[in-house]
Structure 1
Amino acid sequence: MERTGRGFVGAVLLACLAVATSARGAESYTVVAGGLESPRGLAFGPGGRLYVAQAGSGGTTGKISEIRGAGTASPAIRDVVTGLVSAGDEGEFVGVDGLSALGNGTLYAIMALSNEATGFASALGHLLQVNPAGRVRSVADVGDFDFDWTAEHVELAPDDFPDANPYAVLAAGGRVYVADAGANTLDLVRPDGSIQVLAYFPNPLAPDGTPVKDATPTCIAEGPDGALYVGTLALAASLRFGPSAAVYRVDPGAALPGDLEVTLNLATPWATGLPPINGCAFGPDGSFYASLLATGPDLANPHSDVVKIPFDDPTARELLTGGELMFPAGVAVGPDGAVYVSNHAAFVPDGQVVRLARR
């Protein structure tokens, strides 16, 4: 599901549409909420409230919902924000994708794509702030900024640029960061709406050393060391050459926005050789968790999963569900260490938020 300014690559879309939509076994997880429309980002807010971004099913069906009691036998869900734009068709929709929450109840949400690229006049590509009362305001038009940045740096990916598809957001340490899956960038968005590109993620390489599109950063998590860890999808390379996704470490304090040489070299690989990553988070024990879109080369039978990686040994990997998930997206870890995942995030009806069984 290689993300570009148009969404997922058409050839991959056709392969995914062949997936049988019968439910998988749920021995390794419990469904916390069902009947969701393209659930993506997950984030815990104050009081143990779990928020989920729903990209919707077209038109203005995008929304942000709140789940209370996610760890109980009777969780309750309500919509916090509704009426967000949703674009797409054939079971794969984009809209509000990434989500991050502050301790005071403020949410940050990132909308996919770019109005400049699509020709729409909407909130596509915008970073939204939602106050505790549910009031929404646009902070910055990240999509159009990144589209223009890639147009100025076409040489970095001549077959892909210009492009933009903001997908993940993280509010941490008084700053707000956005990962753009189309532009291959990590951005800093300031409170006044100004945007700076901090880091660029290079396309993976084929065995002969030639770049393969597209790195596709899909998630941001703050590590125990205070650095940012960004996971990539790297779908095209993974399908052709085996697991090619990576988790990069970025020290935002070392960034020099405007210095292209620093921007191109700021991200350093932390964990490599992973299946395509679609969401990530750190747990209270310091472990890194990432949803894996497919653990094998057959997208008609993807065996999607979640991998656990110890912070002190990124070469160690543990799969948590036995491949029972189907096209997962966002990951969030509760204060008690319970892992939650957006499941059926695309192509499969009845989107879910699930809680993984303890291991």
Structure 2
Amino acid sequence: MTKQHIKQLTVTLITLCVATLSGIKSAEAASFSVVADGLNNARGLSFGPDGALYVTEAGNGGNGACIPSVTGQGSLCYGATGQVLRIENGQTQTALTGLPSLALADGTNAGGARDIQFDASGKPYILLGYGANPSFRSNLGNVDLGKIIAPDFATNSWRSVADLSNYELVNNPDGSDVNSNPLGLFIDGDRLLAVDAGANDLLSVRNDGSNLQALAVFPQEILTNPVFPPSGEPSTEPGQVPDPTEQPPSQLPIQVVPSSVVKGPDGAYYVSQFTGFPFPEGKAKIFRVGTDGTTTVYADGFTHLTDLEFDSVGNLYALQYANQSAWKGNFDGSLIKIATDGTRKTILSGNGLEAPNALTIGADGAVYISNRSDRPGQGQIIRVETSQSVPEPTAVAGLVAFSVFSLGSLCYQKRNRNRAKTLPWQLHTSHQSLIRTND
């Protein structure tokens, strides 16, 4: 496998049943209720100044022009099927329609509206994903995929603020294959921060679109003794599975695949990692990025992280898309709380939490999550009570700063194996976009 090939393989989504870790207790199931159901590739969510919950749907593509999927699974075709939902008092309404969307013919592997955030004045901004080589984007026409846009809900319109995918095309900060899939957005005063899972960087831009630059770049990591999908089984990254007649590599460079960004109480930015193919369990990290771009590892030992959020007292909530390597086909996820002293608690694991994408904390203290985020017509928004949680054993070592203990991946039996081998939402495993057979 060439280094270039390995990189292209990392854009698909967005955790070992570690039998050797003893004493790990299963998390006690927290209660949750379904706030909305039947959504099309539900992604980001945020409370607006009116107190309503706003949710982005990436849509299910359409019958428009097509471009090749980075995973080699087929063509991603365009349609204006993305939208923003407004949820209040149990009622769901559309706040914005006609957003650009890319997806496979069955509506999976969708790229489009990824995140929504409101600035201090209540003005909304939306991050649109992409999940392919930016040079192909012109084949789709004049579309806003791969950009930050400022919507006007009253007129069902928007304007472009910053073109993140073009920044990757022109600059390619990590020097790897050219690929772009913006995933997470955060607003810090007059600055908009976004992570690009395909480009492996953290970008900063003024809210007027000026001074777009890479604040931090995440280089490839070296994975020792990688575990690959069994030979002959379906995979979202067939080109990355070693030939069974050859000795598998003992070391493999993989993409970092940043998936979200949030600002901490200390003023630094915290970035979650999804990891690239072969999606090693227990290898995802939370990075701390100083305002000067200095990057360190804050905590490690996770699998497939997709979002982070601090509560009002400084606890950090981390959302785990899957507790096992994505290619195993078990997409039971976890909601993990990291206290200010570094101790960890699993609030919810499995028990209905499946392929979650994003979270936000409501004024009621509950955590709202986009669940089953990797599939059309089956997405949910759930409300999780956080009162019931079980501390993880400190024996599972793993933190790198503030003595944050490493979380051992929870073991589950494989289910739905047929739908496994295609990662979730276009992320970028090599630069593949959090994608999965289902998204």
TM-score class, shorter-chain normalisation, is 0.7 to 0.9
Instruction: Please tell me whether residue 334 in structure 1 is matched to residue 387 in structure 2.
Output: no
Aligned to 1:46: 49
Instruction: Please tell me whether residue 232 in structure 1 is matched to residue 283 in structure 2.
Output: no
Instruction: Please tell me whether residue 32 in structure 1 is matched to residue 45 in structure 2.
Output: no
Larger displacement relative to structure 2 (130-139 or 268-277) = 130-139
Aligned partner of residue 254 in structure 2, secondary structure = coil
Aligned to 1:258: none
CA contact (8 A) 1:214 1:235 kept: yes
CA distance in 1, matches of 2:145, 2:153: 22
Aligned partner of residue 116 in structure 1, secondary structure = helix
CA distance in 2, matches of 1:77, 1:107: 18
CA deviations 1:201-244 (Å, max 9, x no partner) are 233321279553211111111111121111010142543xx211
Aligned to 1:184: 200
Instruction: Please tell me whether residue 250 in structure 1 is matched to residue 280 in structure 2.
Output: no
Residue pairs, 1:277-296, within 5 angstroms: 277-296=305-324
Aligned partner of residue 350 in structure 2, secondary structure = coil
Aligned partner of residue 356 in structure 2, secondary structure = coil
Greater share of helix: 1
- TM-score, structure 2 normalization: 0.67
CA distance in 2, matches of 1:61, 1:5: 27
Identity of aligned residues (%): 31
CA distance in 2, matches of 1:115, 1:44: 31
Q: Which of 148, 151, 154 is the matching residue for 1:127?
A: 148
Provide closer, same or farther for how the CA distance between residues 6 and 88 of structure 1 changes in structure 2, counting only shifts above 3 A. farther
Matched to 1:98, the amino acid is D
List runs of 5+ in structure 2 lacking aligned partners: 1-5, 14-28, 62-78, 226-249, 388-439
- TM-score, structure 1 normalization: 0.81
CA contact (8 A) 1:212 1:236 kept: no
CA distance in 2, matches of 1:205, 1:135: 44
Q: Which of 284, 297, 300 is the matching residue for 1:272?
A: 300
CA contact (8 A) 2:359 2:368 kept: yes
Provide closer, same or farther for how the CA distance between residues 283 and 174 of structure 1 changes in structure 2, counting only shifts above 3 A. same
Q: Which of 332, 336, 344 is the matching residue for 1:317?
A: 344
CA contact (8 A) 1:206 1:237 kept: no
Aligned to 2:12: 8
CA distance in 2, matches of 1:352, 1:336: 19
Aligned partner of residue 205 in structure 1, secondary structure = strand
Aligned to 2:256: 215
CA distance in 1, matches of 2:364, 2:284: 29
CA deviations 1:262-294 (Å, max 9, x no partner) are xxxx22111112111112211122111122111
List runs of 5+ in structure 1 lacking aligned partners: 10-25, 70-74, 256-265
CA distance in 2, matches of 1:4, 1:55: 22
CA distance in 2, matches of 1:107, 1:190: 14
CA contact (8 A) 1:42 1:53 kept: yes
Provide closer, same or farther for how the CA distance between residues 66 and 171 of structure 1 changes in structure 2, counting only shifts above 3 A. same
Distance apart, 1:303 and its partner CA: 1.8
CA distance in 2, matches of 1:7, 1:349: 23
CA contact (8 A) 1:33 1:77 kept: yes
CA contact (8 A) 2:57 2:113 kept: yes
Instruction: Please tell me whether residue 173 in structure 1 is matched to residue 212 in structure 2.
Output: no
CA distance in 2, matches of 1:3, 1:102: 35
Distance apart, 1:8 and its partner CA: 1.7
Aligned partner of residue 143 in structure 1, secondary structure = helix
CA distance in 1, matches of 2:278, 2:82: 31
Q: Which of 168, 179, 198 is the matching residue for 1:146?
A: 168
Q: Relative contact order (alpha carbons < 8 A, sep ≥ 6): 1 or 2 greater?
A: 2
Q: Which has the larger radius of gyration?
A: 2
Instruction: Please tell me whether residue 301 in structure 1 is matched to residue 320 in structure 2.
Output: no
CA contact (8 A) 2:174 2:201 kept: no
